């Protein structure tokens, strides 16, 4: 009789765990608003990443349905210098800032390039402790990491 109780208890626990699984919970609950961080350090990938972010926004129905951050460091930051940015990039960055997308510039890269926030396109904030630190912070807050 004791074995039957153990078996029944085990099966009940498995059933409870399965019933409470995220897939089953999501079936009856509204979808969770995702948080995503894009990592950009390659100058040649700026247009690609900006396009990915725009596609992401379009795919989920706008900025109200997702939280997005962009962390830029290394050579890629040169493309966001206000004096060097092309008009299309400036337009996208401005719209992203208005949409509430965090645009973080690596503080270490800013120092190495001898620039301040005023030298970048409007909307950027400084990741004072560094771009990779900001990426780790965002991931620890539940952001999904994307590096196109």
User: Same structural domain for residues 96 and 49?
Assistant: yes
Domain range spanning residue 24?
A: 1-30
Pair 76, 24 in one domain: no
- Determine the average pLDDT of the residues in 115-123: 97
pTM for the predicted model, two decimal places: 0.79
Same domain, yes or no: 38 and 83? yes
Q: Are residues 101 and 70 in the same domain?
A: yes
| Interval 5-15 mean pLDDT | 49
92-105: pLDDT as tens digits: 999 999 999 999 99
15 has a pLDDT exceeding 70 = no
> Is the domain of 20 the same as that of 88?
no
Regarding whether 102 and 38 lie in a shared domain, the answer is yes
Based on the fold, state whether residues 23 and 61 are members of the same structural domain.
no
How many folded domains does the chain comprise? 2
114: domain CATH number is 3.40.1260.10
Q: Looking at 26-40, 54-68, 110-124, 132-146, which range is the least confident one?
A: 26-40
Q: What are the residues whose beta carbons fall under 8 Å from the beta carbon of 65, sequence distance 6 or more?
A: 33
Strands (E), the chain: 34-40, 66-72, 102-106, 124-127, 144-146
Burial 25-54 (b: 16+ CB within 10 A, else e): eeeeeeeeeeebbbbbbeeebbeebbebbe
Same domain? For 5 and 71 the reply is: no
Range of lowest pLDDT (20-29, 87-96, 133-142): 20-29
Percentage of the chain lying above the pLDDT 70 cut: 79
- Residues 4 and 43 occupy one common structural domain: no
3-class DSSP state for residue 42? Answer: coil
- Does 117 lie in the same domain as 59? yes
Output phi, psi for 60, to 5 deg.
Answer: -105, 5
């Amino acid at each position: 009789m004791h074995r039957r109780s153990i078996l029944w208890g085990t099966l009940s626990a498995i059933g409870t765990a399965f019933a409470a699984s995220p897939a089953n919970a999501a079936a009856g609950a509204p979808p969770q608003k995702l948080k995503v961080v894009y990592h950009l350090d390659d100058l040649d990938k700026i247009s690609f990443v900006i396009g990915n972010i725009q596609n992401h926004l379009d795919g989920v129905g706008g900025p109200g349905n997702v939280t997005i951050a962009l962390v830029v460091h290394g050579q890629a930051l040169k493309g966001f210098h206000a004096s060097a940015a092309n008009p299309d990039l400036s337009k996208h960055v401005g719209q992203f800032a208005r949409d509430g997308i965090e645009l973080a510039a690596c503080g270490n890269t800013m120092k190495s390039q001898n620039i301040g926030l005023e030298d970048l396109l409007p909307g950027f904030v400084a990741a004072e402790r560094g771009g990779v630190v900001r990426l780790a912070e965002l991931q620890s807050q539940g952001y999904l990491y994307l590096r196109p």
